[in-house]
């Protein structure tokens, strides 16, 4: 089959393209911005890429157009497809029908930690000899690729609650029909498509409704929103994790995030020793262990596999060091994720200074829905530097409670200059964004040097 993918350079659609190519399909695609590293990865797989959405791509005459959720009505190629009556579908639906059907799908959902937990789970299954397929919203360093078809029965997928396509406003994850589903946590996000937290809880309950009675839900025991989701109805086995005190059957950790025992109730069933930081990763590990157990991986074996887990790119990834100043890259873009990331680094560096550098880039942050939480999210940093964009709200005003601890700049270059002026040997510069941030990491290292 020849499929032509609209919006192919996004993480999800690029992963889908790689899986389709591995499955033997002819794959072509287009996007508004075709640039490395995704463009290089796709072309290395023999996938022809076209810049833009010109209507003449209809002349490729693929068997099917696969539409990414970046595509809207008014898009020239999409309008031509509709006028011609050409066959089209969404990315999640194509994946469900062509790849996931007949496989044991393990889906990882939640506001935070989806990518890391998906990578952890895929690695545990790989180390256990299950040869899983996977699609991750990042690049797990253990695998070096974000997606693969896999030779085994299991398929691990990052299950996003964002909408499927302009013609299908359901969350992507309702297409996946998992037998095992991790519900990591649930907070308000995606303010561009959800009115409030209750609307997202409804989508999560739609996911719960698709899990069979023989399936397993692996659920964060600390999360009140998830408790409300399950309170609407639950038809599957529930494995709770992260309980703060002993709870029959629930998985919990005893020890520090980098070295801890895994307990079920009061019984030790495994131990994790690894280089990862933060309580959030401890919880992610418990979730992965609980999900892997559902496909036959013993908890002690899963815990041992996690000792070799190398994390995902852009998760507190050290990008370089200049004059004794370390520069990290992290994908955190929601206040809770920012707070958690800074806390993880603080546990590692102790009293050494942390300079947090961030841009409010997500649709939710651009709309100002989370601006009141920013001072809290940055409270453990010694200094904070924010890029002021065309957000419709004043970042300096939002950060005013931090006083001189926070600075705002109107351009990446000005931000780099401010950080370089403030930084001194022994500091840790933590850059947080879900985008490229104007190449700020290289610019910072050059300025610091």
Domain ranges for the chain, please list them: 2-90, 102-306, 317-448
Superfamily of domain 102-306: Mur-like, catalytic domain (3.40.1190.10)
Is there a contact between 187 and 113 (Cβ–Cβ < 8 Å)?
no
Q: Report pLDDT for 294.
A: 98
Same CATH fold assignment for domains 102-306 and 317-448: no
Residues 6+ apart with CB under 8 A from 326: 318, 320, 427, 428, 429
Q: Which of 102, 192, 108, 151 is nearest to 392 (CA)?
A: 192
Establish whether the linkage from the previous residue to 37 is cis, with ω within 30° of 0.
Answer: yes
CATH superfamily of 317-448: Mur ligase, C-terminal domain (3.90.190.20)
Q: How far apart are CA 268 and CA 283, in angstroms?
A: 16
As averages over each run of 10 residues, the pLDDT of the chain (449 residues) reads: 95 93 96 79 90 97 96 97 98 97 97 91 98 91 91 96 93 96 87 82 96 98 96 97 91 94 95 88 96 98 95 80 92 82 87 92 72 87 90 86 90 93 94 85 92
**Cα–chain-centroid distance for residue 232?**
26
pTM: 0.81
Q: Cβ–Cβ contacts within 10 Å for residue 168, how many? A: 17
Query: CB 390: neighbour CB atoms within 10 A?
Result: 5
Decide if 399 contacts 375 (C-beta within 8 A). yes
Domain 2-90, second-level architecture: 3-Layer(aba) Sandwich (3.40)
- Asked if 417 and 432 touch (Cβ cutoff 8 Å), the reply is no
Structure-block tokens of residue 399? 């950060």
The pLDDT assigned to 191 comes to: 66
- Distance, CA of 294 to CA of 271 (rounded, Å): 19
């Amino acid at each position: 089959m020849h499929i032509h993918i609209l919006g192919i350079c996004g993480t999800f659609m690029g992963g889908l393209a790689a899986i389709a190519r591995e499955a033997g399909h002819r794959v072509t695609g287009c996007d508004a911005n075709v640039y490395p590293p995704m463009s290089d990865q796709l072309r290395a797989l023999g996938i022809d890429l076209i810049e833009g959405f010109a209507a003449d791509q209809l002349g490729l005459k693929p068997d099917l157009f696969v539409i990414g959720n970046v595509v809207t009505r008014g898009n020239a190629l999409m309008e031509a497809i509709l006028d011609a009556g050409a066959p089209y579908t969404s990315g999640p639906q194509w994946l469900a029908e062509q790849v996931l059907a007949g496989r044991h799908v393990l889906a990882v959902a939640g506001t935070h930690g989806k990518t890391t937990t998906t990578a952890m789970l895929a690695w545990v299954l790989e180390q256990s000899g299950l040869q899983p397929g996977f699609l991750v919203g990042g690049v797990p360093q253990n695998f070096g690729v974000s997606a693969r078809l896999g030779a085994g029965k299991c398929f691990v997928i990052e299950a996003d609650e964002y909408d499927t396509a302009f013609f299908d406003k359901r969350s992507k994850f309702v297409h996946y029909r998992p037998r095992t589903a991790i519900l990591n946590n649930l907070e308000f996000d995606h303010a561009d498509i959800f009115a409030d937290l209750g609307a997202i809880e409804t989508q999560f309950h739609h996911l719960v409704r698709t899990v069979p009675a023989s399936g397993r839900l692996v659920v964060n025991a600390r999360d009140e929103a998830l408790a409300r989701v399950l309170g609407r109805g639950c038809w599957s086995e529930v494995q709770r994790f992260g309980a703060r005190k002993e709870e029959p059957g629930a998985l919990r950790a005893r020890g520090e995030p980098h070295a801890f025992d895994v307990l079920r109730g009061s019984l030790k069933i495994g131990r994790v020793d690894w280089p990862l930081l933060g309580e959030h990763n401890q919880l992610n590990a418990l979730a992965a262990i609980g999900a892997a157990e559902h496909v036959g991986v013993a908890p002690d074996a899963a815990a041992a596999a996690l000792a070799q887990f190398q994390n995902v790119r852009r998760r507190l990834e050290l990008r370089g060091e200049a004059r004794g100043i370390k520069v990290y890259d992290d994908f955190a873009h929601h206040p809770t994720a920012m707070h958690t990331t800074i806390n993880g680094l603080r546990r590692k560096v102790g009293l050494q200074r942390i300079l947090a550098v961030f841009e409010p880039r997500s649709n939710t942050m651009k709309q100002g829905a989370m601006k009141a939480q920013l001072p809290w999210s940055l409270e453990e940093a010694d200094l904070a530097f924010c890029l002021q964009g065309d957000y419709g709200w004043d970042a300096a005003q939002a950060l005013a409670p931090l006083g001189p601890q926070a600075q705002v700049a109107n351009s990446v270059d000005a931000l780099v200059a401010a950080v370089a002026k403030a930084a001194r040997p022994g500091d840790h510069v933590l850059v947080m964004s879900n985008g490229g941030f104007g190449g700020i990491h290289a610019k910072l290292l050059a300025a610091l040097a």
